[in-house]
Amino acid sequence: MSENCSSNCSSCQEDCAARKKNDFSVKPHEMSNIKKVIGIVSGKGEVGKSLVTSMLAVTMNRRGYHTAVLDADITGPSIPKIFGIREKATGTEFGLLPVRSKTGIDIMSVNLLIKNDTDPVVWRGPMIGNMVKHFWTDVIWSDVDFMFIDMPPGTGDVPLTVFQSIAVDGIIVVTSPQEPVSMIVTKAVRMAEMMNIPVIGLVENMSYYKCPDCGSEHNLFGNSHIDEIAGVYDLNVLARLPVDPGISSACDKGMIELFGGDWLDPVAEILEKQ
């Protein structure tokens, strides 16, 4: 233990005996088999984090991988709606089973457990964190090649629980042109560093609008600064997603698995090499 120890292991990089005593990691269900876990994070809400999570799961599924989505946004779950899932999760004597989407993507969300999708989840932080851990320890994730965790925005209880409890292989930070990109990326990167989790790169959502008539691109939310920020932190800009009414319509109809476009193919190629 260092002489300057503050007893706050989450902000310390030392591999000391005291740190090992405060290991909060938990093992997945004994019948689970999960190869790679990727967290999708953002410093603020309404930037399309759940959309990117869903599209990544679909993209990797199209490439022949068995993918899964763990919806860690307990108080604002949107994954079931995006995938058009209305049935509830079931269980056996061995554990809870995720709901499988139309194309075979395994999904677990609090909305698959509560009676009505519109019922609010009015829980305090510890209960929310425990629910996320239950999604990891009590759900049987069978032969998953890539699990994507849809995080709530910010750096609060749930992201901390995920990073401390679950073996996350890397995170992808989602931003948009109209937000204070520097601050958002800085918060996400610093938290990842504190938790010793690599940042795979950045995805900019709502990056531009492509006119269907003339094919020209327009920056509806101003000029992007994502390349500058990526350079400061030596990160890769993995993809830029357009403002596309077709994507919004697919989400509203629960048909994200039918979206067109290859915007996330470069991300898929990087994940395949992880």
Between residues 182 and 266, the one the model is more confident about:
266
Quick one: pLDDT at residue 153? 80
Is pLDDT above 70 for 20?
A: no
C-alpha torsion angle, residues 258, 153, 129, 147 (rounded to 10)? 30
Is pLDDT above 60 for 116?
A: yes
Between residues 68 and 181, the one the model is more confident about:
68
Quick one: pLDDT at residue 62? 97
**Highest-confidence range of 137-146, 150-159, 222-231, by mean pLDDT?**
137-146
Quick one: pLDDT at residue 179? 63
With contact defined as beta carbons under 8 Å apart, do 125 and 75 qualify?
Answer: no
Task: Pick the closest to residue 238 from 207, 269, 202, 263 (CA basis).
Answer: 202
Between residues 18 and 73, the one the model is more confident about:
73
Is pLDDT above 70 for 1?
A: no
Residues 6+ apart with CB under 8 A from 118: none
59-81 pLDDT, tens digit per residue, is: 999 999 999 999 999 988 999 99
Is pLDDT above 80 for 189?
A: yes
What separation in angstroms does the CA of 256 have from each of 17, 77, 105, 202, 226? 47, 16, 12, 21, 26
Is pLDDT above 50 for 242?
A: yes
CATH hierarchy code of domain 34-273: 3.40.50.300
196-226 pLDDT, tens digit per residue, is: 899 999 999 988 888 777 877 777 777 788 8
Task: Pick the closest to residue 181 from 232, 229, 240 (CA basis).
Answer: 229
Q: What is the mean pLDDT of residues 110-122?
A: 83
Q: Report the C-alpha gap between 183 and 17 in whole angstroms.
A: 34
Is the entire prediction scored with pTM above 0.85? Answer: yes
